[in-house]
Amino acid sequence: MTQTTQGNQADTPDISTAFPLPDVFSSALVSMFHAVQPGIVQVGVSGRGGGTGVIWHANGRIITNHHVVANERAKVYVHLSDGCTLDAQVLQRNPQLDLALLQVQGDNLQALAVGDSSQLRVGEWVFAIGHPWGQRWALTAGIMSGMSSAKLAENRTSQYIKSDVGLAPGNSGGPLLNADGEVVGINAMIFGGDLAVSIPSNVVSTWLAGLPASQRRVTLGIEIQQTALPDNIRTALQPSREFGLLIVGISAGRQAKHSDLLLGDILLDVGGQPVQSGAALRQFVTEKGGAGKVAMKIVRGGKVIEAEIATLIGA
């Protein structure tokens, strides 16, 4: 019989306290996965396999790889994480970049936050979520190993992210995520053994910004509701008015790129024009027709302030 001495017990470290990092990392990764899962879809194509897609905008625009939906005659549909299946229309294709833009009609779609791929550093953790070999919402992890360039056409090149994140058929078109759960790339292929290649998020955003205006959507990236103005604000304004627009929600895309608007702010003027209703605000944004900055008058903390606020291009 083997005896355990008191000294042996004292020399044995308590693993739960000696190595806290793995548990913290695991908990954070679990939370990140559940937060982003609703923004990732499975793309199905009739007559063949499929891939993965990223909900880029809550209006139903989805990014995937061109090679996933290359068959122009095939019916395309997407499976959401809540079990719903929606028909999808291919709005735009770019075979050179291996990108495609889909449109679905759905309610309460969750767009993922888009990060700045130029900020990626060698050695940084990256994560992929997709549907390899039909296994839905599989999570893999890896290390960003570098950026490379490929020639697309004469005098035109594009960058690609290299990492050792695990990809397989079915991952194509899915997100490459940083540790904050932001999309920093669109996974495209495996190259040279286990090396994964992803299209940087900045390349995707640049492509979307260059699409025809009919394929883009200019937005402030906020949810608003009409609210009565405090008495002191109402009487101080010239001309006086009764209502403003209370910000009750801020999109993930705006949170990722801008911190210039806050929940609880009240919009008074946009572009020098009073906005007392959602219809007035939507009309202004529609007429603007492109991304840029607009002058705004805002109530914040009981005071009226002026600021230049960036509009967003939503695919």
Task: Indicate the DSSP class of residue 154.
Answer: T
List, in order, residues 6 or more apart from 166 with CB less than 8 Å away. 128, 132, 140, 141, 142, 194, 196
- Active-site hit among 117, 158, 172, 201: 172
Q: What backbone torsions phi and psi does residue 112 show, to the nearest 5 degrees?
A: -85, 150
Task: Count CB neighbours of 112 within 10 A.
Answer: 25
Q: Among residues 96, 102, 95, which one has the least CA distance to residue 42? A: 102
Asked about 79 being catalytic, the answer comes back as no
Can you tell me the distance from the alpha carbon of 174 to that of 142, in angstroms, rounded to the nearest whole number?
A: 15
Query: 221's torsion region: left (phi>0), alpha (psi -120 to 50) or beta?
Result: left
Per-residue HEC secondary structure of 179-212 comes to: CCCCEEEEEEEEECCCEEEEEEHHHHHHHHHCCC
Q: Pick the catalytic residue from 57, 79, 98, 269.
A: 98
SS3 category, 216: coil
Residue 172 known to be catalytic: yes
Are the beta carbons of 198 and 76 closer than 8 angstroms?
no
Annotation says 205 is catalytic = no
Q: Which two tokens stand for residue 152?
A: 């697309």
Closest CA to 143 of 117, 176, 165: 165
Catalytic residues: 67, 98, 172
